[in-house]
Structure 1
């Protein structure tokens, strides 16, 4: 099905609305070119500027859309891109753009858990994809009662593919 002919209920299912959290206005042509090159979405993605740093992304397949959502967080020019899933066409003004899914550790609403054994120089770790508020500072550590033993341990949090300063800027 040709993207330009997608209407009604199908369009929101293939669409994402994204906002680049930057004080300065992004160059829309450069943005569209870079995102298309980075994502290489199956069948392509049509990008249309809605207003300012807010864009509509229309994918040709649900698989491509989901791959982009799962592959985040995404950024452009060192600024985070926050996505919303539209419920129906034309309702963008009410979108808050206030959460982003990241791979973190016990700091937000859990979206996905990677149960593979992982290790790094500093020891073993668990990858958890969570939703965090973009307008609130990221936690640097958490205190947990590991295995319910009564012994509280401080765990340092590490963030993948994320510049902490990007999320800590209030726009």
Structure 2
């Protein structure tokens, strides 16, 4: 059916099939949808998912859940603000496994969605005191992923460290930190600490699988 939908222009249509229906915007639904992929090999229970996130997300009118593929669920809300709030509070996990969330605009097939990145807070530790500022922390975190500018600068202040919001690729190894040097010849290392991360592979540092599914672990025969 999907292939037919994609290639309908090449079909020979009969008189009834060729009658066009114009879909105006007033016929569209007012739903706001998140597409979520669960990075687990276990079977998903929709009932368990709803039971877990109902008290966490505290949606005023609740939400609906639809299955949309292999470990992919659609969460349907009636207002954008609740979706924005949930996305801004990422990362989320279920049963200690990572969930990759993204806004779904309903314009593209679900099978074409890429669940490759998540937003995380990174704590940047061990920055020399005279360089302990937001700009330096953001430059240091450029190797970890794409910066996400925070409007509330107070969210970045951790006292002895700086917090940076970063969009990271889950298929790449997590950066543990970064070397630095100063114009005075000082050299050192800053450490990255990731907030609220669930299970990850401690063999290679990837978030896309756990230890027992890692190629390094398999090649080493455990």
The interval holding the TM-score normalised by the smaller chain is 0.7 to 0.9
Deviation at 1:129, TM superposition (A): 1.0
Q: TM-score, normalized by length of structure 1?
A: 0.80
d(CA) in 1 for partners of 2:75 and 2:27? 14
Instruction: Work out whether residues 39 and 208 of structure 2, in 8 Å CA contact, stay in contact via their aligned partners in 1.
Output: no
2:168 counterpart residue number: 132
Instruction: Work out whether residues 96 and 199 of structure 2, in 8 Å CA contact, stay in contact via their aligned partners in 1.
Output: no
SS at match of 2:158: strand
SS at match of 1:58: strand
More strand by share: 1
Q: TM-score, normalized by length of structure 2?
A: 0.63
1:162 counterpart residue number: 197
Instruction: Work out whether residues 115 and 126 of structure 1, in 8 Å CA contact, stay in contact via their aligned partners in 2.
Output: no
Which segments of 5 or more consecutive residues in structure 2 lack a partner in the other structure?
A: 1-25, 125-140, 202-206, 214-222
Runs of 4+ in 1 over 6 A off after TM superposition: none
2:135 counterpart residue number: none
Q: Name the structure, 1 or 2, with higher relative contact order (CA <8 Å, separation 6+).
A: 1
More helix by share: 2
Q: CA RMSD in A?
A: 2.4
Number of residue pairs aligned between Structure 1 and Structure 2: 159
**Does the C-alpha gap of structure 1 residues 90 and 29 become closer, same or farther in structure 2, counting only changes over 3 Å?**
farther
Q: In terms of Rg, which structure is larger? A: 2
d(CA) in 1 for partners of 2:179 and 2:36? 34
